[in-house]
Amino acid sequence: MFKKMPGDEPHRIVSTTPDTAVVFKPAVIRTPALLTLIIFAWRAVASLVRAVWRHPIATLVAVVPSVITFLYGWRIALLMTAPPLVGLVAWALTDRGSFAHWIGWRLLAWWRLVWLYRRHWQPVMTVSGLAKHLHGREYVPRLGTVTCTSWADLVTVRMLDGQAVKDWTDRVDNLAHGFDAQTCRISTAKPGWLLLTFPRNDPLAVPMPALPLPEEVSVGPVEVGRCEDGTPWLLKLLGTHVLVAGATGAGKGSIIWSAIRALLPAVREGLAEIWALDPKLMELSFGRDLFDEHYAAAPADCADLLEQAVEVMQERAGRFAGVHRSHTPTVEDPFVLVVVDEVAFLTAYQSDKQLRQRVTAALATLTTQGRAVGVGVLAALQDPRKEVMNIRNLFPDKIALRLDESEQVDMVLGDGARDRGALADHISPIPARGAGIGYVRLETGPDPIRVRAAFVSDADIRAVVAEFAGGRP
């Protein structure tokens, strides 16, 4: 507050607010030079001991040649060290896979630990807000081990006491850019420890051709593509229900047809049946001859087919009650997979309200009671909003392909899935780059898994139709 003081010139203004600023002069303690040298020497010795303890093999590789050179001269050292080096080079050239597993990835992990993560750890933790300052002391999360695979760095981290996983998932962008990665995915390794995944390249960038038909008859988890870590993507159908969500051209048809093709040997043996609902008349109509009377396209026929599946489910439940709680497919009671291509057309976009209610009620009944008696549902939709598909939470396993909005990721996979690294809204809309790529969240775990489905072309569908149509018992 300012005012004019009496007796002063008209232009002079002074402040009447008391000045509360207090200047504190920090106390300066002069440390003797000898004590400073002792502290520096102690820190150097501690760092050396810590390096030897953490990296014994690397220490031996560096120390042994130096010791031999000092004791016997450089010629003897060269003669003793050259054969192992030549052997390692020959190993790398002849069997690159085993060399990478035992030597290559370990050396890369050590280098990235020293050069990238340990060097930038404290600045990244401080700038991102994951380090805390209390009473003049800085507390930094502890960096654990670094493991390198063919496509990513796996970094273990000990959180600070009192931190939550959400504190880290809210800062995945900070972590990714801080450590020169495109993205960062966070999962819980054990209480108090996190596993940070920093991809170095994209092993799913190249599209996969259609997988060969399985030689063994099985209704167990079927192979439909590949996971990001290089392992086969096995999709469980028996004993669960699967919801696939993705924008137009995201690759929903590849997942559906990969699952159907993998089940066809079991269908031929009478251990499985595929019931197809194709309201768009575009996807499943290619294999109509595979489904026979278990194919429906008109909305009324789709509702009838779903209610027929409910009747099969209820009849089995009546026979299985008190006998067994899990279903084993037999010729008398085969596994029934109900495939719905565009479920939202039947549950939301259909003008007949009564028909919508019938479809929704039948799907809700199947998804709540069907898996114990061998009736599963594989449904696909484009719009995951609740008003379009209000029973999406009844599907234990969910797959999110390319989506248009970031909010839709959590609608499909559940709350927090995008913060854990399921960036389905960042998948490329170019078919060659992003079609079939998605994230899977299973009932058994909260962490999303990045996958890519094999591409099933029209020629592949016609080939299996020609081979399997009419060949069932």
Q: What is the DSSP string of 251-296?
A: SHHHHHHHHHHHHHHHHHTTSEEEEEE-TTSSSGGGGHHHHTTSEE
Q: Pick 18 or 460 by higher pLDDT.
A: 460
Reported as a single tens digit per residue, the pLDDT across 258-306 is 999 999 999 999 999 999 999 988 889 888 889 888 999 999 999 999 9
Q: What average pLDDT does this structure show over 59-64? A: 75
Q: How confident is the model at residue 2 (pLDDT cuts 50, 70, 90)?
A: very low
Quote the longest CA-to-CA distance of the chain: 114
Q: Is the pLDDT of residue 107 over 80?
A: yes
| Average pLDDT in the chain | 86
| Per-residue pLDDT at 362 exceeds 70 | yes
- The C-alpha atoms of residue 367 and residue 74 are separated, in whole angstroms, by 74
List 243's β-bridge partners, or say none.
Answer: 379, 398
pLDDT average, residue stretch 347-360: 87
Q: Which among 98-102, 255-259, 320-324 has the top mean pLDDT?
A: 255-259
CB 453 within 8 A of CB 222: no
pLDDT the model gives residue 88 = 75
- pLDDT at residue 355 is higher than 50: yes
Mean pLDDT score, 161-171: 91
Q: How confident is the model at residue 357 (pLDDT cuts 50, 70, 90)?
A: very high
Higher pLDDT, 30 or 167: 167
pLDDT recorded at residue 52: 76
Report the CATH number of the 96-201 domain.
3.30.980
Pair 363, 306: CB distance under 8 Å: yes
Q: Are 263 and 214 in contact (CB under 8 A)?
A: no
Tell which CATH architecture fits domain 222-468.
Answer: 3-Layer(aba) Sandwich (3.40)
- What confidence tens digit (pLDDT) does each residue in 195-211 have? 999 999 888 989 999 99
| Residue whose pair of structure tokens reads 């996983």 in the numeric block | 165
- CA torsion sign, 385 to 391 to 394 to 398? negative
- For β-strands 335-340 and 272-277, DSSP reports them as parallel
Q: Residue 258: CA atoms inside 13 Å, Cβ hemisphere, count? A: 26
Domain ranges within the chain, ordered by starting residue: 52-94, 96-201, 222-468
Identify the pLDDT of residue 470.
60
- Map 158-169 to HEC letters: ECCCCCCHHHHH
Higher per-residue confidence, 29 vs 262: 262
Of 14-28, 245-259, 420-434, the one with minimum mean pLDDT is 14-28
Q: What pLDDT does residue 3 have?
A: 47
Whether 86 shows a pLDDT value over 90: the answer reads no
Lowest mean pLDDT among 32-41, 186-195, 257-266, 330-339: 32-41
Judge whether residue 441 has pLDDT over 70. yes
Does residue 130 carry a pLDDT above 70? yes
State the Cα–Cα distance between residues 422 and 398, nearest whole angstrom. 12
Q: For residue 13, is pLDDT > 50?
A: no
Mean pLDDT is lowest, of 132-136, 226-230, 354-358, for: 132-136
Q: Tokens 């599209």 correspond to what residue?
A: 207
Band of residue 473 on the pLDDT scale cut at 50, 70, 90: very low
Q: Average pLDDT in the 145-164 region?
A: 94
Strands 437-441, 375-381: pairing is unpaired
pLDDT at position 18 = 52
> Is residue 84 pLDDT above 90, yes or no?
no
Average pLDDT over residues 295-318: 94
- Percent of the chain's residues with pLDDT above 70: 92
pLDDT at 65 over 50: yes
| CA nearest neighbour of 468 among 303, 263, 204, 180 | 263
